[in-house]
Chain A
Amino acid sequence: MAIPITYNLRNLTVRKTTTIMTALGIGLTVAVLVAVLALIAGLKQAFQATGDPLNVLVLRKGATGEINSVVTREVFQDLKFKPGIARNGAGEPMASLEVVTVINLSSDANPNGMNVTVRGLTPMGLEMRPGVKVIKGRWFRQGQREVVVGKSTAKRYPEAGLGGKLRFGKGSWEVVGVMDGGHSEVNSEIFGDLNQISADFNRTESLSSALLRATDTSAVPALVNSLNDDQRLSVTAETERAYYDSQTNSGAPIKYLGIFVAAIMAIGSCFAAMNTMYAAVSRRGKEIGTLRVLGFSRASILTSFFFESLLLAGLGGILGCLLALPLNNVTTGIGSFATFSEIAFEIRVTPAVMAVGLGFALLMGALGGFLPARAAAKKEILTALREI
């Protein structure tokens, strides 16, 4: 027969201070893990939101990213008529030639400046990004020195706000709009007219990349293969989603550091939980003896104490998630070595992240609780009853 759960709950409440201290120790460990995982979840979300599964990104063969890729107008003319490329309402192939470069914006908080990606594109490029909306002002006009700034960049660098002037390339640019790309990386980019921007960086003929829209999901692999196999074009093609997925690696150093720290803290918390549970067992010698006399088996004593440890750790896990919860939706930035620019994204304390944190807490509880629970179950009835 099992010992009722209320027995464990009451025990935890009777020794309030010890319970809270142990749970808080576990909670802080969980909070560190949850915070790091939430950071990675936010970063992942930003990248995944950027890639449309129908879009195919074309770079020069060997290029590791848009920043060191070159696609000439000549190559673009050839590849935009490949079979499998969708056409818009006007019957034009949905292919966008783009130039991507990085500029340095400085702010009071960061006088050395942080790098921001600038993208020059055509009206087709905007048409192929239906998720990107202007939330303030308007889109840039073709042939004008006008730019639209992603909302994260506009927020982090006051000089890049609506109506501001940015100096890069060969002169100054007027900020005529602020755009919102959902959770995507577009929020940390600056958009402008393809011809204007490429002229400023002496790249009118050799631009950076081409974005193609496939007719449907089944046409994507064929399009990617035909581009990769075309010796004449000498380009690499992959889906936009795959490209951005590989960039999630930028968070790897923080992730490993965080997991390393959480693991060591967990070892410490495990020992602390073990201490608490051993104390609980030794203080309750008489109770254990009584329970045995009442007919509870060794197995149910073991289960009961083990469960109490899980309960204690679970409480810690919940505390940890609550501690990390205020981080949700906080905007932060991380540098990407693929683009040499900063990606702004929101930290996401998702249910999945919290579940991992809670699971981690329970694992600590299980590891810390097993030995004390076994010690409790092993006690002989008579000696247990005689304990003070």
Chain B
Amino acid sequence: MVRYLPLVWKNSLRNRRRSILTVLSLAASLCLLGLLLALYHGLFMATPTPAQALRLITHHKVSLAHLMPVAYRNKIKSLPGVREVMTMQWFGGTYRDARDPANFFARFAIEPSRLFTIFPEIELPPDEIHTFQTQRTACIAGRDLANKFHWKPGERITIVGDIFPVTLDLTLVGIFDGDPANASTLFFNQDALYEGMPAGSALKNLAGTFEILAASAADVPRIATEVDAMFQNAPEPTKTETEQAFQLSFVSFLGNVKAFLFLIFGAVTFTTLLVSANTIAMSVRERVREVGILKTLGFTNGSILGIILGEAAIISLVGGAVGMLLAEGLAAAMRAGPAYLIAVKTLTIGPGVVGLSLALAVVIGLISALIPAANAARTSIIDSLAYSG
């Protein structure tokens, strides 16, 4: 079979324009398939980082808009296997002008003394950590966020509250690296929030989420059940889940994303199959006479089948490879874009995705070539030589 490779290669280059168009067409489809696979993998199959595997999030059972008493923090902390708990409150509000969505970013009121225990991946120089932990109006921002607004340490950031009747006047004391999931997040001292609110405000001692750090991965499922059991009959029941599950719940909130991805995946694969089958059929039809000549020269039916299938495989493999390059380029562009989902922020075309996509490309190529190739191999010498196109 290997000795036919030069012939297969030459055949692929015979109608260059068609081969290039087919490769480009397959590349577009496979680029899409690769991205979908990578997205699916990132959303539903990613292995958590060691730090992530130890983190749980407790929020109100009904929704994130419902708050829980901050006193829950100490109760959760007292459970066995819980290393640390931090209250974390989403602060909506407006930075600059709410009408421009570019001004939107995540802002969380947190406890600076506990943040770096819970998120060990956050990298910040010790002196900046110290300033953050001692100044009431201090805040830190992820690298991407700081770059987007051209913030330098010392920057004054004013955020007008909406859920909370508070105007925050914050000073940026550090820009952190190391945590891609929070690269576009601003963390500020929760004292600025709770002490800024008028006395007697209904929101004063309430928090939206509690970040829990478990002592070991084995404790994680038990902690989740125990926390929820503890508050089951409280006026504000809770839901505790792993960080990954929590992020996934945002995705499922958008609708049935899994089914949506599968549907598109099916449509794209089928389209690819059509395109590929169509091209192979065209090129075989063009070459019936040639096949007759090859047979006269002594090529067997089997080797003719192999030569045509090989050509299909080469074209789809090249298409797949170009597609993977395109997909990686698009993934890089998406990583640099705004973070809507963490899975997009960390989207990469891994070796698994590349392997699967290329295998899919070859399988599609072979399936689509099977019928035209078998027909060509089966045609008798006389018929093929008499064929006029």
Which residue from chain B places its CB closest to the CB of A375 in the assembled complex?
A: B17
Which residue from chain A places its CB closest to the CB of B253 in the assembled complex?
A: A335
Which residue from chain A places its CB closest to the CB of B36 in the assembled complex?
A: A261
A residues in contact with B165, CB < 8 Å: 62
Minimal beta-carbon separation of A10 from chain B (angstroms): 18
* B21 adjacent to A29 (CB under 8 Å): no
* B32 adjacent to A272 (CB under 8 Å): no
Contact of A340 among B28, B63, B263 (CB under 8 A): B63
A residues in contact with B63, CB < 8 Å: 102, 104, 115, 340-341
A residues in contact with B32, CB < 8 Å: 261, 264-265, 268
Interface hit among B79-87, B143-151, B189-197, B268-276: B268-276
B residues in contact with A28, CB < 8 Å: 267-268, 270-271, 274
Contact of A274 among B21, B274, B282, B389 (CB under 8 A): B21
* A102 adjacent to B65 (CB under 8 Å): yes
Asked if A332 lies at the interface with its beta carbon under 8 angstroms from chain B, I say yes
Minimal beta-carbon separation of B161 from chain A (angstroms): 7
Asked if A334 lies at the interface with its beta carbon under 8 angstroms from chain B, I say yes
Asked if A296 lies at the interface with its beta carbon under 8 angstroms from chain B, I say no
Minimal beta-carbon separation of B203 from chain A (angstroms): 10
* B264 adjacent to A112 (CB under 8 Å): no
Asked if A247 lies at the interface with its beta carbon under 8 angstroms from chain B, I say no
Interface hit among A16-24, A137-145, A182-190, A223-231: A16-24
Asked if B302 lies at the interface with its beta carbon under 8 angstroms from chain A, I say no
Contact of A279 among B18, B26, B31 (CB under 8 A): B18
Interface hit among A63-71, A146-154, A155-163, A303-311: A63-71
- Complex interface bits, A309-352 against B, C-beta within 8 A gives 1, otherwise 0: 00000000000000000000000111101001100000000000
Distance in angstroms between the alpha carbons of A276 and B25 in the assembled complex: 12
* B271 adjacent to A265 (CB under 8 Å): yes
Asked if A84 lies at the interface with its beta carbon under 8 angstroms from chain B, I say no
* B25 adjacent to A268 (CB under 8 Å): yes
- Complex interface bits, B237-272 against A, C-beta within 8 A gives 1, otherwise 0: 001000000000100011110001001100110111
B residues in contact with A17, CB < 8 Å: 278, 281
Contact of A18 among B17, B61, B281 (CB under 8 A): B281
Distance in angstroms between the alpha carbons of A335 and B64 in the assembled complex: 13
* A388 adjacent to B271 (CB under 8 Å): no
Classify the secondary structure of A's interface with B. Answer: helix
* A332 adjacent to B28 (CB under 8 Å): no
Contact of A206 among B62, B202, B278, B281 (CB under 8 A): B202
* B340 adjacent to A278 (CB under 8 Å): no
Asked if B163 lies at the interface with its beta carbon under 8 angstroms from chain A, I say yes
* B28 adjacent to A104 (CB under 8 Å): no
* B249 adjacent to A25 (CB under 8 Å): no
Contact of B254 among A254, A261, A278, A340 (CB under 8 A): A254
Distance in angstroms between the alpha carbons of A46 and B382 in the assembled complex: 67
Contact of A334 among B18, B255, B267, B272 (CB under 8 A): B255
Most buried by B among A64, A102, A257, A264: A264
Distance in angstroms between the alpha carbons of A265 and B268 in the assembled complex: 7
B residues in contact with A8, CB < 8 Å: none
Contact of A68 among B65, B255, B264 (CB under 8 A): B65
In chain B, residues 217-242, which have Cβ atoms closer than 8 Å to a Cβ of chain A? 239
Distance in angstroms between the alpha carbons of A334 and B253 in the assembled complex: 7
Contact of A32 among B66, B253, B264, B277 (CB under 8 A): B264
Most buried by A among B27, B32, B61, B281: B32
Distance in angstroms between the alpha carbons of A18 and B274 in the assembled complex: 9
| Known A28-B267, A31-B267: A268·B161 in contact at CB below 8 Å | no
* B340 adjacent to A275 (CB under 8 Å): no
* A268 adjacent to B162 (CB under 8 Å): no
* B264 adjacent to A261 (CB under 8 Å): yes
Contact of A275 among B22, B249, B267, B270 (CB under 8 A): B22
* A29 adjacent to B271 (CB under 8 Å): yes
Which residue from chain B places its CB closest to the CB of A267 in the assembled complex?
A: B28
Distance in angstroms between the alpha carbons of A341 and B162 in the assembled complex: 19
* B62 adjacent to A102 (CB under 8 Å): yes
Asked if B160 lies at the interface with its beta carbon under 8 angstroms from chain A, I say yes
* B28 adjacent to A264 (CB under 8 Å): yes
* B271 adjacent to A104 (CB under 8 Å): no
* A24 adjacent to B274 (CB under 8 Å): yes
Asked if A103 lies at the interface with its beta carbon under 8 angstroms from chain B, I say yes
B residues in contact with A112, CB < 8 Å: 239, 249
* A63 adjacent to B255 (CB under 8 Å): no
Which residue from chain A places its CB closest to the CB of B160 in the assembled complex?
A: A62
In chain A, residues 266-303, which have Cβ atoms closer than 8 Å to a Cβ of chain B? 267-272, 274-276, 278-279, 283
8 interchain pairs, CB-CB under 8 A:
A17-B281, A68-B65, A104-B61, A268-B24, A268-B28, A275-B278, A283-B389, A332-B255
* A positions within 8 Å CB-CB of B: 17-18, 21-22, 24-25, 28-29, 31-32, 35, 62-64, 67-68, 70, 102-104, 112, 115, 206, 253-254, 257, 261, 264-265, 267-272, 274-276, 278-279, 283, 332-335, 337, 340-341, 388
